[in-house]
Structure 1
Amino acid sequence: MTADQEPRRNIPRTPMTPGEIDAAHVGPATRLDGRVTLAEPDPLWPVVYATEAERIGTALAALPHRLEHVGSTSVPGLPAKPVVDILLAVPDSAAESTYVPALEGLGYGLVVREPDWYEHRVLRHPAVAPGIDYVNLHVFTSGCPEIDRMTGFRDRLRTHPADRALYARTKRELSGRTWEYVQNYADAKSEVVEEILRRAGRG
């Protein structure tokens, strides 16, 4: 891979335009055109993660991999969209044939492909449990710096109540606004995310 071909290393990630959001999706991107609904902390969230991690781990037993519960449902006491986010690290996230078919066998479908952002992929499984909208499986190549950022942010929120409260306030305030896409809501949180990561020494 030449320098011109290397994926962008834009940290922090820049807000996505509607065209970029649509281009990243496998099929049309789903519009929100409304507010984001947050749920209060639910003890079911880590249970769903554990169940799905076991299923995924079994399906990918022949492939070296790492699984982590990330996102707001991984932080006790934090409100969140009822969506469980799982991080999957594999030897090469661009090599979809090494993991996508096995995950499709579990009911996951590829919904996002971002070759210019760490070869990020997202697979989604709907309705895995009552009260859960879906599971998002974020796939990166092992060693990708975004893995440390995602887990580092989670760990900071788990262990620092003031940062957790700040993030919760930010989420509640932004969820009351109207957004074209859920990604726009996620991008709007970037400033406070970067602030917290800097305090964690990961900014």
Structure 2
Amino acid sequence: MVSAEEIVRQHPFDPDGVEWLVPPQPGDITVVDYDPSWPATYALLEDRVREALGDDVLALDHVGSTSMPGLAAKPIIDLDLTVADSTDESRYRPRLEAAGFALILRERAWHEHRLYLSDEPRAHLHVWSPDCPEAVRHLLLRDWLREHPEDRAAYAAAKRAAADRLREGGGLAMDYNELKAPTIRDILDRVFRAHSLL
């Protein structure tokens, strides 16, 4: 069982802790209005993952901005997948790749996170081991923003501002994440307090 202390602990991004299998490329970060087709797109991706992995799927959730009705987002579906051991890639990687998901990075120091990319439809599949605090945080943030329109609006504004700034000055997706991180931290502080985690 993941502890409250682990859930609330901040993990600053460490570029040296990332093993890129596909080097990141500068590109335009586009934030668009919410698309009501995103849940159906997630359902298609969910079926692909479950078909590929069967009982090795311990949990699978739609997370990230496309999972929050009314929230502007990059048009990329985020999925959180929990398997028995994210480091045991031989158990699940070949089947995910056969289903159209390519491994693009490993973050060994950050909960042994693995990130897979689907090009069609565009998706990020995050792979975790059980009781990962980051997966818990994703669900807490998702559920909070679904119910709190004022925080949803603040987050949308932060995302658009970050995308505009990168468009003007160039940068990578990781830079976009860092630019919107202060707003996420503020919202998570309210989430943690509401759940008596702080």
| TM-score normalised to structure 2 length | 0.87
CA distance in 1, matches of 2:103, 2:78: 14
- For 1:69-92, what per-residue CA distance to the aligned partner results, in whole angstroms no more than 9, with x for missing partners? 011000000111111000001111
Match of 2:3 in 1: none
Does the 8 Å CA contact 1:109/1:125 hold for their aligned counterparts? yes
Match of 1:181 in 2: 172
Say what the alpha-carbon RMSD is for the aligned residues: 2.0
SS at match of 1:177: helix
CA distance in 2, matches of 1:191, 1:38: 18
CA distance in 2, matches of 1:105, 1:56: 10
The amino acid across from 1:71 in the alignment is G
Partner of residue 11 from structure 1, selected from 9, 12, 15: 9
How many angstroms does 1:11 deviate by? 3.4
Instruction: Please tell me whether residue 167 in structure 1 is matched to residue 155 in structure 2.
Output: yes
Instruction: Please tell me whether residue 69 in structure 1 is matched to residue 62 in structure 2.
Output: yes
The amino acid across from 1:119 in the alignment is E
Runs of 5+ unmatched residues, structure 1: 1-7, 129-133
Q: How does 1:117-128 map to 2 (within 5 A)?
A: 117-128=110-121
SS at match of 1:135: strand
Match of 1:5 in 2: none
Does the 8 Å CA contact 1:121/1:138 hold for their aligned counterparts? yes
Does the 8 Å CA contact 1:16/1:187 hold for their aligned counterparts? no
Q: How does 1:28-47 map to 2 (within 5 A)?
A: 28-32=23-27, 35-47=28-40
CA distance in 2, matches of 1:9, 1:75: 21
How many angstroms does 1:154 deviate by? 0.6
How many angstroms does 1:98 deviate by? 1.2
CA distance in 2, matches of 1:85, 1:149: 14
Does the 8 Å CA contact 2:58/2:83 hold for their aligned counterparts? yes
Match of 2:81 in 1: 88
| TM-score normalised to structure 1 length | 0.85
The amino acid across from 2:45 in the alignment is E
- Which has more helix, going by share of residues? 2
SS at match of 1:73: helix
Does the 8 Å CA contact 2:106/2:115 hold for their aligned counterparts? yes
Does the 8 Å CA contact 2:49/2:96 hold for their aligned counterparts? yes
Partner of residue 190 from structure 1, selected from 181, 184, 192: 181
SS at match of 1:68: strand
SS at match of 1:172: helix
Aligned length: 186
The amino acid across from 1:59 in the alignment is A
Match of 1:4 in 2: none
